Structure 1
Amino acid sequence: MVSKTALGIAAGIFGTLFVGYCVYFDQQRRKDPNFKKKLRERRKANKLKCQSRTQSKLPDLRDHEEAQAFFLHEVQLGEELLGQGDIEGGVEHLGNAVAVCGRPNQLLKVLQQTLPPNVFFMLVQRLPQLSQRILEQPTGGSMVEDEVE
């Protein structure tokens, strides 16, 4: 059988080779003349993506079809972001969906059963803030009809 000393030496050599491999390819990547340009573009794209995620265009809640489309889009986007590990963004979009939902209590019951407890707790904490933002929107965010007969 192989002794522990031989295994230790082999592991040390393998570790050294792996670190050398990483350093070599990192140097090659940094020597690329377009590296900084690509890095700036990637960071700018990520920044724009984050900004667009947090600034969802709120619908006119008096238009039922527009509100329903917004609701479905926000639920889908929230689920995608949670699946990708972006809990903050996912909670933001699910909160928007709950805020415009016609029956928020039923939706919250479903979300409580499907979401992890910590994510659901974050959603419940953020709901008053999101609901207030939707009610204050200038495009007629209240669900009260303008003309009541």
Structure 2
Amino acid sequence: MPSVRLGVGLLAGLAAGGAVVLLSYCVYLDWRRHRDPAFRRRLQDKRRAGQPKAQAPARQLWDPVKKEELQEYFFREVQMGKLCLIRGERGMGFEHLTNALLVCEQPKELLMFFKKTLPPEVFQMLLDKIPLICQQLEETCRSTEHLKDDPD
């Protein structure tokens, strides 16, 4: 019996010693991680190298949240355009109306509505402004695509 107790005691002592060593090592690594920026950088590099490349999430063709946000944006732009035109701020009014036209799901119907509700000279100025806004939008899209391609 004494040999069994001795074996159990020895085993318990080894387990306690191992736990102390493990805890000490964890404390040391934590201390080193907080103190050494190069160690943190190397650790991050190891983690990045070990992770598999994240696959691009599947694109959803219809996202109800985005659709609601676009509708809210559309209505807000139409309202702002009307207010600006009423105040006599034609430049801002045209910009808001063309923004609404760009996000509209049915731009032809919106143009027909504008043709019926806006004075002819204002509608013609709106039509003249559309290509400029589209060009600005294309330039913005190109610049954001360029930024997405840049890894830094």
Relative to the length of structure 1, the TM-score reads 0.48
TM norm structure 2:
0.47
Between structure 1 and structure 2, the one with the greater Rg is 2
**Structure richer in helix, relative to its length:** 2
